[in-house]
Chains A and B, each alone.
Chain A
Amino acid sequence: MVYLENDAFLNELVRMFSKSKVKGNGTVYVIMKKFDGTKRAAATTVTKKSSGTGKQKKTQKVSEEPTPAHACLIRAKLQNRKIATFVPAKEVNRFQLAYCSVLRGNMDALKKTKKNKSKSVRRPPKYLNFLHTLCGSLKVMFLY
Chain B
Amino acid sequence: MYLKTYDDWEKAAERLYLQNPDTARYSIIYQHNKGLFKVKMTDDATCVQYRSESMQEFKKMEKFVSNLLRHMASTEH
State the A residues within 8 Å of B (CB).
17, 20-21, 24-36, 69-72, 87-89, 91-92, 95-96, 99-100, 103-104, 106-107, 109-115
Q: Is the CB of A28 within 8 A of B75?
A: no
CA distance A69 to B76 in the complex (A): 11
A30 and B27 form a contact (CB under 8 A): yes
Are B33's CB and A24's CB within 8 A? Answer: yes
Majority secondary structure, B binding face: mixed
> Interface 1/0s, chain B 51-77, versus A by CB < 8 A?
011111011001001101111111100
Contact check: which of B54, B66, B74 meets A110 at CB < 8 Å? B54
Could you pull out 25 A-B pairs where Cβ atoms are within 8 angstroms? A17-B30, A20-B30, A26-B32, A26-B33, A27-B30, A31-B26, A32-B26, A32-B27, A32-B68, A32-B72, A33-B24, A34-B72, A87-B73, A88-B73, A89-B74, A92-B70, A92-B74, A100-B62, A103-B62, A110-B37, A110-B55, A110-B58, A111-B35, A112-B55, A114-B56
A115 touches B33 (CB 8 A): no
Q: Which residues of B contact A26 (CB under 8 A)?
A: 31-33
Q: Which residues of B contact A (CB under 8 A)?
A: 21-22, 24-37, 52-56, 58-59, 62, 65-66, 68-75
A25, A28, A69, A114: the one contacting B30 at CB < 8 Å is A28
Q: Which residues of the partner chain A approach B58 to less than 8 Å between Cβ atoms?
A: 103-104, 107, 110
A70 and B73: CB pair below 8 A? Answer: yes
Residue from B24, B32, B54, B68 within 8 A of A111 (CB atoms): B54
Q: A104-B62, A110-B36, A110-B58 are in contact. Are A29 and B29 (CB under 8 A)?
A: yes
Question: Smallest CB–CB gap between B19 and chain A, Å?
Answer: 13
Most buried by A among B30, B70, B73: B73
User: Chain B's nearest CB lies how many Å from the CB of A89?
Assistant: 5
Contact B54 A34 (CB under 8 A): no
Which residues on B sit within 8 Å (CB–CB) of A99? 65, 69
The CA-CA distance from A112 to B53 in the complex, in Å, is 9
